[in-house]
Amino acid sequence: MALSASRTYVDIHILQTVPPANLNRDDQGNPKEAYFGGVRRSRVSSQAWKRSTRTHFAERVPEQDLATRTRRIGAALTERIVVGSGLDAEPAARLSGALLAQLKISAGKKDGDTAYLFFYGNRQLEAVARLVKDRAVELAGLDDVQLADEIKRMPVQEKFSTGHPMDVALFGRMVADIPALNVDAATQVAHALSTHAVELEFDYFTAVDDAQTGEETGAGMIGTIGFNSATLYRYASVGLHQLLHNLTDEEAAVTAVEEFVTSFTRSMPTGYGNSFAHRTLPSLVAVVVRSDQPVNLVSAFEEPVSASSATPAEGHLSRRNGPSGIAANSARRLAREHAEALRAWGDAPDFTGVCHTFTESAGTTELLEETFGEALAFPQLLNGLRAHLTDTLKQAAR
């Protein structure tokens, strides 16, 4: 199903302040960074936040409606065949190998493994296991040539090509060996960047040996952990039209957008989580639905934000409210960037909604309201987005 040739993009803009943390490590074990606007910024890779988002899905969506990304698909299929047919593990593994051989995916170093991660829907794998469920004993008694001939008649590839789960439909799938199994992603996720300059710091720590005797001196362990703290700008965009194509169901597509916005907003990479307890909630979540193209507003922060910084156009707000901190200044920068883009390009969005916590900063609140509309509680924002997308799909179907 297509969206009547129309394009609908759901842009999510988030400002989130994170205390000292090491969310996403580089090859040296330090927080990832990037130069932007001529200064060093804190960075969290898109892969890290997509992983956190998918993990958050598991807290809200039944497991059978999600996907698994693994090299060990052979073991997973074998387990399902054992459960469904009652075969022992060894003959079940043989059937599993014959089924997956029809996909012609490059084999990994271990028996039953693929050479690369394969992103499959849990319901899709169940459907493949059901292909042999009623004939499992008979098929297990065939020789390799006969078994391969029987399996060739089964729609193995078709089962992986239809009925995509929400996370495969959102994040896509690439299978280099079998282009027919590729799924175009409906979601783009940017690397999160700090709105301001950061400096890498190090935590020097020692650990005490609890069994150390009085005659012994020194620490049981000494080490360092790199960290930084930042107000991050996070951005992602979901193409509703592509999502609908992947899922072929309007209600499922709208629900997938709602679940993505929820999980992308509430998730957090877990790197060194026990050491830093860095979990926070965003200060601002703005959702903009557009029919032209996705628009990342990171250019608002090319000039690094500081605790007292303000653009000339918003200077009266800073003077009236006094220093408001990096988060509030970043929120005003974001609002002005969005407003200036609308003025310059004339591409008015179809829907805007915002949830933020800047209630003590009247100037910031006023500017956000002028740009994104009245502040809503997050559940209200989701309800408004769902209503708008549902209405969009109904109009497209007419």
Torsion of CA 339, 340, 343, 348, to 10 degrees: -40
Shared-domain flag, residues 45 and 96: no
103 within a domain of the structure (yes/no): yes
The percent of residues above 70 in pLDDT, for the chain, comes to 93
Q: Is residue 325 part of a domain?
A: yes
Predicted local distance difference test score (pLDDT) of residue 217: 67
Last residue of a domain, one of 115, 131, 164: 164
pLDDT in tens, 77-87: 999 999 988 88
Instruction: Identify the pLDDT of residue 218.
Output: 66
pLDDT, position 177: 79
Q: Is residue 218 part of a domain?
A: yes
Phi, psi of 162 (to 5 degrees): -130, 165
Nearest Cα residue to 354 out of 334, 326, 325: 334
- Give the tens place of pLDDT for each residue, 363-374: 899 999 999 999
How many other C-beta atoms lie within 10 A of the C-beta of residue 249? 14
Same domain membership, residue 51 and residue 114:
no
Range of the domain at 193: 9-66+185-397
Distance CA(382)–CA(12), nearest Å, equals 12
User: For residue 154, is it within any domain?
Assistant: yes
> Are 42 and 108 part of one and the same domain?
no
Query: Are 200 and 317 in the same domain?
Result: yes
- The residues of the chain scoring below 50 in pLDDT are 1-5, 310-323
Give the tokens for residue 141: 């008694």
Residue 88 in any domain: the answer is yes
Please tell me whether residues 385 and 296 are part of one structural domain.
Answer: yes
- Is 180 within a domain? no
> Structural domain tally of the chain?
2
